Chains A and B, each alone.
Chain A
Amino acid sequence: MGKNNKINVRRWVDDRLAMLTPPEGWRPDMEAGLARLDRRREGGGAWNRQWAWAPAIAAAVIIISALAFPVTRVSAQRCVNACVVLWNNFSGSNRPSDAVVATGERKIAPDFKLPDAAGKSVRLSEFRGQVVLLNFWATWCGPCKVEIPWFIEFERAYGDAGFAVLGISLDEDGWKSVKPYIEAKNVNYRVMVGNDEIARMYGGLESIPATLLIDKAGRIAATHVGLVEKKTYEEELKALIAEQ
C-alpha cells in the first residue's frame, strides 16, 4: 500500500511537471543571445554590478540623516501621510462618498466559517445586526501593519455600539506566522486564517490589504483595496452604525 502510494505520488508529480513546457513554437534567438552575451562580457554588466548599489546607498544615507532630526522626521511623516491621501484621491476608490454603496445596491457578503486563534468557530452570518469591518491582510504586508492599530482602536471604541472587526490573514504558512504577530500587536479583534476558497469567494484578493465594510443586514457597503485613511474608515463605519 505504502509502495503503491509512493508510485502514485511519483506519477502524479511527474504528470504535473510534464505540463511545464516552454511556450509553443518559441525558440531562443541564438543571435540575440550571443549579442547579449558579448555586451554583458564587454563590461556593461561589470559597470552595473559595480555601481548598482550606489543609488540605494545614497538614498539610505539621505533618509537616515534626515530622520535623525525630529523636525525632518515629523516632516517626513507628514509627507508620507500626504502621499497616502493624494494617492487615495488619485485612485478615486477610497473617497468615503464614493466608496459607500447605496443601500439598495449592496450585495450580500459571502458567508464563511473559519476558526479563530483560540480555535473557536467564526461565522460571518452570526454578525448580522452588527456592522463588520472585514479586513484581509498578511503579516508581510506593509500597509496592513499601518492599518491594524486603527482597527484595534475601532474595536475598542465602537465594539459596544454594534460593531466588530474581523481579520482574515492570507499568510501562506498560516497560524505559524499569524499567532505570534497578533499576540505581539495585542490584536483585540477576532482573527482567522483564510484559504483559497475564501479568497475566491471575495473575488480573488490578490492585492491586500482589502477591507470590506458590511452593514447590519450582512451586505457589502464599501470595499477598499490598498491603504486607506483612518478617517475614511471611521466616517464610514459611524455612518453604517447609525443606519437603521
Chain B
Amino acid sequence: MDARNETVVIKPNDIKPNDQAASDAVVSLEAMFEAQYERIARVIARVIRDPGRAEELAVEVLLKWSRNPLAQGSKAEGWLYRAAARMALDELRKQARRNRYEGLPALLRRPPTPEELHSMTEEQDRVRTILGAIARRHAELLLLRSQGFNYDELAAALDLNAASVGKLLSRAQQAFRKEYVEKYGEE
C-alpha cells in the first residue's frame, strides 16, 4: 500500500469553502494527475499488454473522476483504483473478443516451442485470460488486493461491507483457481 501513500497536492483555491475535513477537500484534476497518473497507468498496464493503451485509459479514468461529484473527497483514491481496475478488465475482455473474431488462422501458425509454453509471458497471459473470464466483481477484488489494498480499503473502494471482504475475497480466489484449473489443468 505504501506505493499509493504519497501526499496528494491540494491547491488551496480548489478547496470548497463548505468542506469541513481536509480529507474531503476537492483536489484539482492537475494535482490528482500529478499524484496518481503513473500508478493508475501501472495498474492498468499490469492487466492489459499495451502500455500505450494503458496510458490512454489512465487519462480517461482521471477525466471520469473529475466529472463525478460523488468520487471526490476522501473516496477519491479508492474510486480511482476501482475505476482503473474496471477499465483494465473491460479492455481485457474487449481484446479477448477481438482476438476471438479477428485471430489469424491458427492452423497456419507454427506451434509454440516448449520453452515458450512455459515462459513468464505465457503465464501472464493465462492469468489475464482468467481475470477476463471470471466474474468482474471477483476480478476487481483480486486485482485491487494484489495491488496492496487491505480489507478496509477494499471495502471502501468496492462499496462492500468490511466484515464480508474476507469471505468475498476467498470466493474470488476459489473462482480464479477453479477457472484456471478448468482451462489449463492442475500444475
Contacts and interface: CB of A to CB of B under 8 A. Distances in A.
B64 to A, nearest CB: 11
A178 B38 CA distance: 44
Interface residues of A, number: 42
B103 A17 contact: no
Nearest to A138: B100
A19 B37 CA distance: 22
Contacts of B104: 206-207
A36 B14 CA distance: 22
Contacts of A40: 59-60, 63
A193 to B, nearest CB: 12
A214 B46 CA distance: 43
Contact of A204 (B42, B46, B60, B109): B109
Interface in A123-172: 172
A45 B63 contact: yes
Contacts of B145: 17
A29 interface: yes
Contacts, number: 120
A28 B39 CA distance: 9
B75 interface: no
Interface string B118-131: 00100110111000
Contacts of A30: 37-38
Most chain B CB inside 10 Å of its own CB: which residue of A29, A36, A207 = A207
Nearest to A223: B107
Nearest to B43: A22
25 contacts: A9-B173, A9-B174, A16-B123, A17-B127, A17-B143, A19-B127, A20-B124, A20-B146, A28-B51, A32-B55, A33-B33, A33-B37, A33-B55, A36-B59, A37-B33, A37-B63, A93-B105, A200-B111, A203-B106, A203-B109, A203-B111, A206-B104, A206-B106, A207-B104, A207-B106
What 8 A-B pairs come out closest when comparing CB atoms? A204-B106, A206-B103, A22-B45, A28-B41, A17-B146, A225-B105, A203-B107, A206-B106
